[in-house]
Amino acid sequence: MRYVIISGGHIHDAFALDWLEQNKYDCMIAADSGMNFLHRNGILPDIIAGDFDSADNESLAYYQGLNDVQVMKLNPIKDDTDTEFVIREAIRRGATEITVLGATGTRLDHVLANVHLLGIGLEENVSIALVDAHNRIRMISDWLEIKKDEQFGSFVSILPVKGDANGVTLEGMKYSLENAYVACFSSLGVSNEIVEDVARITVKQGVLLVIESRD
C-alpha cells in the first residue's frame, strides 16, 4: 500500500502537484496545515489528522463538512508531532511505502525531527522518503540502488546518523568507497554523483541518510 502524507512545512505548489500527478497513491493523509495546500488546489484527501493548531480555519471547516474525508482530531498536549502520528497511523493501516511532502521548510527543528522520523521506516520495514522541490531524503541500514535515469536531481550525499558507519561501499559513483569507515561528524559523503547506469550504496554497520539533491 502506497501512502502519501502532506505535512505542514513549505510546499512548492507546482512541484507538489506535478509529483502527485506522476505518482499514484492508495491513500492520502494531510497532517494538520498540510490540508491548506490540498484545499487551495482542490484536492480531496482520504484523511486529515492533527491538533489543527496551524490549519487554516476555512480549509478545516471545508474538509470537516465532507463525508468522504475522515477527520482525526488529536489532543494538542501530546508527545509526538502531527507528522509522526500520521506516519505511524499509515503504517498501522498497512502502508508499505510512504512519501512525505511538506516535511521541510524554515523551522529547522521540525525539519530535523522529520528526518529522524525516517528511522521509523527502518524499525517497521517500511520505505519512507521525504521529498521537496530540491531533495529526496531516505534512510538505510543495509543497501540501496539508484538508477541514474530515475535519480532525483544531480547529486547524491550520504551522511551517517546514529553514530559512525562501517563497511560503507559506494559503487557506480564518481567518488567510490569500498568497505570504508565513515565518521558521523564528517562531511565526507557530501555531493557525490552517479556515473554508471546504477549506483549501489551499502552499509554493513550503522545508519546512513541518503540525500538526492538538485540546486
The model's pLDDT over 11-31, given as tens digits with 9 standing for 90+, comes to 999 999 999 999 999 999 999
Q: What is the mean predicted confidence (pLDDT) over 125-152?
A: 98
For 140-213, CATH number out of 3.20.20.70, 3.40.720.10, 2.60.120.320, 3.40.50.300 equals 2.60.120.320
Q: What's the pLDDT band for 79 if we cut at 50, 70, 90? A: confident
In the chain, where the domains are located: 2-133, 140-213
Q: Which CATH number is associated with domain 2-133?
A: 3.40.50.10240
**HEC assignment per residue over the chain:** CEEEEECCCCCCHHHHHHHHHHCCCCEEEEECCHHHHHHHCCCCCCEEEECCCCCCHHHHHHHHCCCCCEEEECCCCCCCCHHHHHHHHHHHCCCCEEEEECCCCCCHHHHHHHHHCHHHHHHHCCEEEEECCCEEEEEECCEEEEEHHHCCCCEEEEEEEEEEEEEEEEECECCCEEEEEECCCCCCCCCECECCCEEEEECCEEEEEEEEECC
Q: What is the mean predicted confidence (pLDDT) over 186-203?
A: 97
pTM above 0.85, yes or no: yes
Q: What's the pLDDT band for 187 if we cut at 50, 70, 90? A: very high
Q: What's the pLDDT band for 170 if we cut at 50, 70, 90? A: very high
